[in-house]
Structure 1
Amino acid sequence: MDMSVEQVPVRLAYRITTADVAQALRARDARVPAGRRKRMLTAGFAVLLLTLGGVAALGDGPVGKPLLIAGCGVLLLALTLFGPQLTARAFAGLLAKAGETTAVVDATGLQVSTTDTQTRINWAAQPMYMETADTFVTLSVAKRAVAMTILPKRGAQGPAEVERLRALLDANLNRL
Protein backbone atom coordinates (compact mmCIF):
# COMPACT_ATOMS: atom_id res chain seq x y z
CA MET A 1 0.00 0.00 0.00
CA ASP A 2 1.59 3.25 -1.17
CA MET A 3 1.16 6.16 1.26
CA SER A 4 1.44 9.70 -0.06
CA VAL A 5 3.78 12.23 1.51
CA GLU A 6 0.85 13.90 3.27
CA GLN A 7 -0.28 10.68 4.97
CA VAL A 8 3.00 9.93 6.73
CA PRO A 9 3.72 12.30 9.62
CA VAL A 10 7.17 13.81 10.07
CA ARG A 11 8.52 13.72 13.63
CA LEU A 12 11.13 16.14 14.92
CA ALA A 13 12.89 16.19 18.30
CA TYR A 14 14.94 19.25 19.26
CA ARG A 15 15.67 22.02 21.74
CA ILE A 16 14.88 25.52 20.50
CA THR A 17 17.90 27.79 20.88
CA THR A 18 18.19 31.57 20.95
CA ALA A 19 19.99 31.27 17.60
CA ASP A 20 16.90 29.54 16.13
CA VAL A 21 14.65 32.32 17.43
CA ALA A 22 16.96 35.10 16.19
CA GLN A 23 17.22 33.50 12.74
CA ALA A 24 13.41 33.12 12.54
CA LEU A 25 12.83 36.72 13.65
CA ARG A 26 15.35 38.07 11.10
CA ALA A 27 13.72 36.04 8.32
CA ARG A 28 10.21 37.09 9.38
CA ASP A 29 11.19 40.75 9.46
CA ALA A 30 12.72 40.44 6.00
CA ARG A 31 9.77 38.64 4.40
CA VAL A 32 6.63 39.96 6.14
CA PRO A 33 5.49 43.45 5.05
CA ALA A 34 5.04 44.69 8.64
CA GLY A 35 8.57 43.56 9.49
CA ARG A 36 10.04 45.31 6.45
CA ARG A 37 8.16 48.51 7.30
CA LYS A 38 9.36 48.39 10.91
CA ARG A 39 12.97 47.92 9.85
CA MET A 40 12.80 50.69 7.25
CA LEU A 41 11.13 53.16 9.63
CA THR A 42 13.56 52.42 12.46
CA ALA A 43 16.59 52.70 10.19
CA GLY A 44 15.21 55.87 8.58
CA PHE A 45 14.57 57.48 11.94
CA ALA A 46 18.08 56.49 13.09
CA VAL A 47 19.62 58.18 10.03
CA LEU A 48 17.47 61.26 10.65
CA LEU A 49 18.65 61.48 14.28
CA LEU A 50 22.28 61.01 13.24
CA THR A 51 21.90 63.77 10.63
CA LEU A 52 20.19 66.12 13.10
CA GLY A 53 22.88 65.43 15.68
CA GLY A 54 25.59 66.14 13.12
CA VAL A 55 23.97 69.37 11.95
CA ALA A 56 23.42 70.51 15.54
CA ALA A 57 27.07 69.80 16.35
CA LEU A 58 28.14 72.19 13.58
CA GLY A 59 26.38 75.08 15.35
CA ASP A 60 27.69 77.15 18.25
CA GLY A 61 25.44 75.58 20.91
CA PRO A 62 26.42 73.18 23.68
CA VAL A 63 27.85 69.85 22.55
CA GLY A 64 25.75 67.69 24.92
CA LYS A 65 22.45 67.90 23.03
CA PRO A 66 23.85 67.06 19.58
CA LEU A 67 25.67 64.09 21.09
CA LEU A 68 22.47 62.94 22.79
CA ILE A 69 20.54 63.18 19.50
CA ALA A 70 23.27 61.35 17.59
CA GLY A 71 23.52 58.77 20.40
CA CYS A 72 19.81 58.05 20.07
CA GLY A 73 20.34 57.56 16.34
CA VAL A 74 23.18 55.10 17.00
CA LEU A 75 20.98 53.25 19.50
CA LEU A 76 18.14 52.94 16.98
CA LEU A 77 20.55 51.74 14.32
CA ALA A 78 21.92 49.12 16.73
CA LEU A 79 18.38 47.99 17.57
CA THR A 80 17.63 47.65 13.87
CA LEU A 81 20.69 45.46 13.38
CA PHE A 82 20.67 43.48 16.65
CA GLY A 83 16.97 43.53 17.61
CA PRO A 84 16.30 39.87 16.71
CA GLN A 85 19.27 38.68 18.80
CA LEU A 86 18.20 40.81 21.77
CA THR A 87 14.62 39.57 21.51
CA ALA A 88 15.80 35.97 21.29
CA ARG A 89 18.01 36.42 24.37
CA ALA A 90 14.96 37.70 26.26
CA PHE A 91 13.36 34.29 25.67
CA ALA A 92 16.40 32.29 26.87
CA GLY A 93 14.85 31.39 30.23
CA LEU A 94 11.61 30.19 28.66
CA LEU A 95 13.50 28.17 26.07
CA ALA A 96 15.56 26.47 28.78
CA LYS A 97 12.42 25.68 30.78
CA ALA A 98 10.68 24.21 27.72
CA GLY A 99 13.40 21.58 27.40
CA GLU A 100 13.12 18.95 24.70
CA THR A 101 10.48 19.72 22.08
CA THR A 102 8.74 17.17 19.91
CA ALA A 103 6.83 18.20 16.80
CA VAL A 104 4.66 15.99 14.65
CA VAL A 105 3.72 17.42 11.26
CA ASP A 106 0.99 15.74 9.25
CA ALA A 107 -1.72 16.56 6.71
CA THR A 108 -3.85 18.34 9.34
CA GLY A 109 -1.16 20.57 10.88
CA LEU A 110 1.40 20.57 13.66
CA GLN A 111 1.39 19.13 17.13
CA VAL A 112 4.14 20.59 19.30
CA SER A 113 4.92 19.18 22.75
CA THR A 114 7.36 20.47 25.37
CA THR A 115 7.93 19.55 29.00
CA ASP A 116 4.89 21.53 30.14
CA THR A 117 2.71 22.10 27.08
CA GLN A 118 1.08 20.43 24.14
CA THR A 119 -0.28 22.55 21.29
CA ARG A 120 -2.18 21.60 18.14
CA ILE A 121 -1.87 24.11 15.27
CA ASN A 122 -4.08 23.62 12.24
CA TRP A 123 -2.81 24.82 8.88
CA ALA A 124 -5.42 27.60 8.80
CA ALA A 125 -3.96 29.15 11.99
CA GLN A 126 -0.51 29.55 10.44
CA PRO A 127 -1.07 29.39 6.66
CA MET A 128 2.38 30.59 5.56
CA TYR A 129 5.90 29.31 5.99
CA MET A 130 9.43 30.27 5.19
CA GLU A 131 12.65 28.34 5.13
CA THR A 132 15.95 29.54 6.54
CA ALA A 133 19.30 27.80 6.41
CA ASP A 134 18.56 25.88 9.62
CA THR A 135 14.79 26.01 10.16
CA PHE A 136 11.30 26.01 8.78
CA VAL A 137 9.08 28.70 10.31
CA THR A 138 5.29 28.66 10.05
CA LEU A 139 3.52 32.02 10.40
CA SER A 140 0.07 33.40 11.09
CA VAL A 141 -1.39 36.24 9.04
CA ALA A 142 -2.50 38.43 11.95
CA LYS A 143 -1.44 42.04 11.37
CA ARG A 144 -0.88 43.02 15.00
CA ALA A 145 0.78 39.89 16.39
CA VAL A 146 2.54 37.36 14.21
CA ALA A 147 2.46 33.88 15.69
CA MET A 148 5.16 31.54 14.51
CA THR A 149 6.34 28.01 15.05
CA ILE A 150 10.01 27.19 14.58
CA LEU A 151 10.93 23.74 13.28
CA PRO A 152 14.72 23.28 13.29
CA LYS A 153 15.95 20.99 10.52
CA ARG A 154 18.37 19.34 12.96
CA GLY A 155 15.31 17.83 14.69
CA ALA A 156 14.62 15.61 11.69
CA GLN A 157 16.10 12.13 11.50
CA GLY A 158 17.99 12.95 8.32
CA PRO A 159 17.95 14.75 4.97
CA ALA A 160 15.11 12.55 3.68
CA GLU A 161 12.90 13.64 6.60
CA VAL A 162 13.75 17.31 5.91
CA GLU A 163 12.64 16.78 2.29
CA ARG A 164 9.40 15.12 3.45
CA LEU A 165 8.76 18.02 5.84
CA ARG A 166 9.35 20.54 3.04
CA ALA A 167 6.92 18.59 0.82
CA LEU A 168 4.28 18.56 3.58
CA LEU A 169 4.65 22.29 4.15
CA ASP A 170 4.56 23.02 0.39
CA ALA A 171 1.38 20.94 0.04
CA ASN A 172 -0.44 22.73 2.87
CA LEU A 173 1.00 26.24 3.26
CA ASN A 174 1.99 29.25 1.17
CA ARG A 175 5.75 29.62 0.96
CA LEU A 176 7.13 33.10 1.51
Structure 2
Amino acid sequence: MQQFNDNRFIEAVNIPNPLYQSLKGRYFVGQTEIIRFGQGKNAWGKLSNPAHSDVDLFVNAFTVTNYSNQPFVAEIWFNPITPGKSMISNKVASANTALTPLPKPEVKITFAELVQGVPKKGVNVFKRIVAPKSTLVSDEDGKFIFSSGGSFVIFLVSPDDETVEAEVAFGWFEKNCK
Protein backbone atom coordinates (compact mmCIF):
# COMPACT_ATOMS: atom_id res chain seq x y z
CA MET A 1 0.00 0.00 0.00
CA GLN A 2 1.42 3.38 -1.11
CA GLN A 3 1.29 6.27 1.31
CA PHE A 4 0.21 9.79 0.35
CA ASN A 5 3.22 12.09 -0.03
CA ASP A 6 2.32 15.78 0.13
CA ASN A 7 5.84 16.80 -1.03
CA ARG A 8 5.02 15.79 -4.62
CA PHE A 9 2.50 18.62 -5.09
CA ILE A 10 3.10 22.26 -5.89
CA GLU A 11 0.56 24.77 -4.69
CA ALA A 12 -0.56 27.07 -7.53
CA VAL A 13 -3.06 29.91 -7.42
CA ASN A 14 -4.70 31.44 -10.47
CA ILE A 15 -5.67 35.09 -10.20
CA PRO A 16 -7.41 37.32 -12.75
CA ASN A 17 -5.08 39.41 -14.90
CA PRO A 18 -6.45 42.79 -13.63
CA LEU A 19 -5.62 41.73 -10.05
CA TYR A 20 -2.13 40.65 -11.15
CA GLN A 21 -1.59 44.01 -12.88
CA SER A 22 -2.84 45.84 -9.77
CA LEU A 23 -0.46 43.90 -7.52
CA LYS A 24 2.38 44.97 -9.83
CA GLY A 25 1.27 48.64 -9.60
CA ARG A 26 0.33 48.81 -13.28
CA TYR A 27 -3.49 49.08 -13.02
CA PHE A 28 -5.19 52.48 -12.90
CA VAL A 29 -8.76 53.77 -12.68
CA GLY A 30 -10.28 57.18 -13.27
CA GLN A 31 -13.09 59.23 -14.70
CA THR A 32 -13.91 62.46 -16.45
CA GLU A 33 -15.71 65.32 -14.80
CA ILE A 34 -19.44 65.51 -15.57
CA ILE A 35 -19.55 66.44 -19.25
CA ARG A 36 -22.43 68.18 -21.04
CA PHE A 37 -23.59 67.76 -24.62
CA GLY A 38 -26.76 68.09 -26.71
CA GLN A 39 -28.56 70.36 -29.14
CA GLY A 40 -26.03 69.62 -31.87
CA LYS A 41 -22.92 69.70 -29.68
CA ASN A 42 -21.08 66.50 -28.75
CA ALA A 43 -18.65 65.38 -26.03
CA TRP A 44 -15.99 62.74 -25.47
CA GLY A 45 -13.79 60.99 -22.92
CA LYS A 46 -10.40 59.55 -23.91
CA LEU A 47 -7.60 57.36 -22.66
CA SER A 48 -4.61 59.06 -24.27
CA ASN A 49 -1.24 57.32 -24.41
CA PRO A 50 1.27 60.16 -24.92
CA ALA A 51 3.87 59.95 -27.68
CA HIS A 52 7.17 58.63 -26.30
CA SER A 53 5.47 57.22 -23.17
CA ASP A 54 7.37 53.93 -23.52
CA VAL A 55 4.27 52.03 -22.33
CA ASP A 56 1.56 50.08 -24.04
CA LEU A 57 -1.98 50.89 -22.88
CA PHE A 58 -4.32 47.93 -22.26
CA VAL A 59 -7.98 48.99 -21.95
CA ASN A 60 -9.59 46.75 -19.35
CA ALA A 61 -12.99 48.38 -18.71
CA PHE A 62 -15.04 51.47 -19.38
CA THR A 63 -18.34 52.88 -18.19
CA VAL A 64 -20.63 55.64 -19.41
CA THR A 65 -23.10 57.07 -16.89
CA ASN A 66 -26.16 58.85 -18.28
CA TYR A 67 -27.72 61.29 -15.80
CA SER A 68 -30.42 62.44 -18.24
CA ASN A 69 -33.95 61.28 -18.99
CA GLN A 70 -33.20 60.30 -22.59
CA PRO A 71 -30.91 57.79 -24.26
CA PHE A 72 -27.89 58.71 -26.33
CA VAL A 73 -25.34 56.92 -28.50
CA ALA A 74 -21.77 56.31 -27.35
CA GLU A 75 -19.34 55.60 -30.21
CA ILE A 76 -16.11 53.75 -29.46
CA TRP A 77 -13.16 54.99 -31.53
CA PHE A 78 -9.57 53.81 -31.93
CA ASN A 79 -6.90 56.51 -32.52
CA PRO A 80 -9.04 59.40 -33.84
CA ILE A 81 -8.35 63.11 -33.91
CA THR A 82 -11.02 64.51 -31.58
CA PRO A 83 -12.76 67.89 -31.98
CA GLY A 84 -12.76 70.63 -29.37
CA LYS A 85 -10.44 71.75 -26.62
CA SER A 86 -9.47 68.91 -24.30
CA MET A 87 -9.14 69.02 -20.53
CA ILE A 88 -7.12 66.58 -18.41
CA SER A 89 -8.90 64.78 -15.59
CA ASN A 90 -7.29 64.72 -12.16
CA LYS A 91 -9.71 61.98 -11.04
CA VAL A 92 -7.17 59.19 -11.64
CA ALA A 93 -5.59 56.77 -9.15
CA SER A 94 -3.55 53.62 -8.88
CA ALA A 95 -5.86 50.69 -8.18
CA ASN A 96 -3.32 49.42 -5.63
CA THR A 97 -3.29 52.01 -2.86
CA ALA A 98 -1.06 49.85 -0.63
CA LEU A 99 2.10 50.65 -2.61
CA THR A 100 4.54 53.31 -1.49
CA PRO A 101 5.15 55.49 -3.35
CA LEU A 102 1.92 55.26 -5.32
CA PRO A 103 2.48 54.51 -9.02
CA LYS A 104 1.64 57.30 -11.45
CA PRO A 105 0.23 56.47 -14.88
CA GLU A 106 1.76 57.60 -18.13
CA VAL A 107 -1.68 57.46 -19.80
CA LYS A 108 -3.97 60.46 -19.30
CA ILE A 109 -7.75 60.74 -19.19
CA THR A 110 -8.81 63.72 -21.27
CA PHE A 111 -12.28 64.95 -22.15
CA ALA A 112 -14.22 67.72 -23.88
CA GLU A 113 -17.81 68.92 -23.75
CA LEU A 114 -20.12 70.90 -26.02
CA VAL A 115 -17.89 70.41 -29.09
CA GLN A 116 -18.76 70.93 -32.74
CA GLY A 117 -17.97 68.14 -35.16
CA VAL A 118 -17.03 64.50 -34.97
CA PRO A 119 -13.75 62.55 -34.77
CA LYS A 120 -11.52 62.52 -37.84
CA LYS A 121 -9.37 59.64 -39.03
CA GLY A 122 -9.19 56.74 -36.60
CA VAL A 123 -11.78 53.95 -36.66
CA ASN A 124 -15.27 53.90 -35.15
CA VAL A 125 -15.19 50.25 -34.07
CA PHE A 126 -18.64 49.98 -32.45
CA LYS A 127 -21.55 51.92 -30.95
CA ARG A 128 -23.63 51.47 -27.81
CA ILE A 129 -26.93 53.00 -26.71
CA VAL A 130 -26.78 54.40 -23.17
CA ALA A 131 -30.19 54.18 -21.53
CA PRO A 132 -31.59 57.05 -19.42
CA LYS A 133 -30.58 57.22 -15.75
CA SER A 134 -28.21 54.28 -16.14
CA THR A 135 -24.59 53.21 -16.48
CA LEU A 136 -23.30 51.23 -19.45
CA VAL A 137 -20.52 48.88 -18.33
CA SER A 138 -18.08 47.11 -20.65
CA ASP A 139 -15.32 44.74 -19.53
CA GLU A 140 -12.70 44.34 -22.24
CA ASP A 141 -10.09 42.31 -20.30
CA GLY A 142 -7.16 44.32 -21.67
CA LYS A 143 -7.74 43.22 -25.27
CA PHE A 144 -7.68 46.74 -26.74
CA ILE A 145 -3.98 47.68 -26.87
CA PHE A 146 -2.53 51.07 -27.84
CA SER A 147 1.14 51.95 -28.23
CA SER A 148 2.52 55.40 -27.43
CA GLY A 149 0.66 58.07 -29.37
CA GLY A 150 -2.54 55.98 -29.49
CA SER A 151 -5.92 56.61 -27.90
CA PHE A 152 -9.20 54.96 -26.95
CA VAL A 153 -12.16 57.35 -27.22
CA ILE A 154 -15.78 57.22 -26.08
CA PHE A 155 -17.55 59.80 -28.27
CA LEU A 156 -20.96 60.92 -26.96
CA VAL A 157 -23.34 61.83 -29.79
CA SER A 158 -25.62 64.81 -29.24
CA PRO A 159 -29.32 64.21 -28.74
CA ASP A 160 -31.16 66.89 -30.71
CA ASP A 161 -33.63 68.30 -28.25
CA GLU A 162 -31.97 68.64 -24.84
CA THR A 163 -28.64 69.07 -23.10
CA VAL A 164 -27.61 66.01 -21.12
CA GLU A 165 -24.92 65.21 -18.58
CA ALA A 166 -22.73 62.12 -18.46
CA GLU A 167 -19.47 60.78 -17.05
CA VAL A 168 -17.00 58.39 -18.66
CA ALA A 169 -14.77 56.15 -16.53
CA PHE A 170 -11.93 53.78 -17.42
CA GLY A 171 -9.88 50.95 -15.95
CA TRP A 172 -6.57 50.19 -17.69
CA PHE A 173 -3.11 48.83 -17.19
CA GLU A 174 0.23 49.86 -18.61
CA LYS A 175 3.27 47.78 -19.48
CA ASN A 176 6.69 49.05 -20.43
CA CYS A 177 7.31 48.26 -24.06
CA LYS A 178 11.10 48.15 -23.79
TM over 0.5: no
Q: What TM-score, normalized by structure 2, do the two folds share?
A: 0.24
Flag the structure with higher strand content: 2
Flag the structure with higher helix content: 1
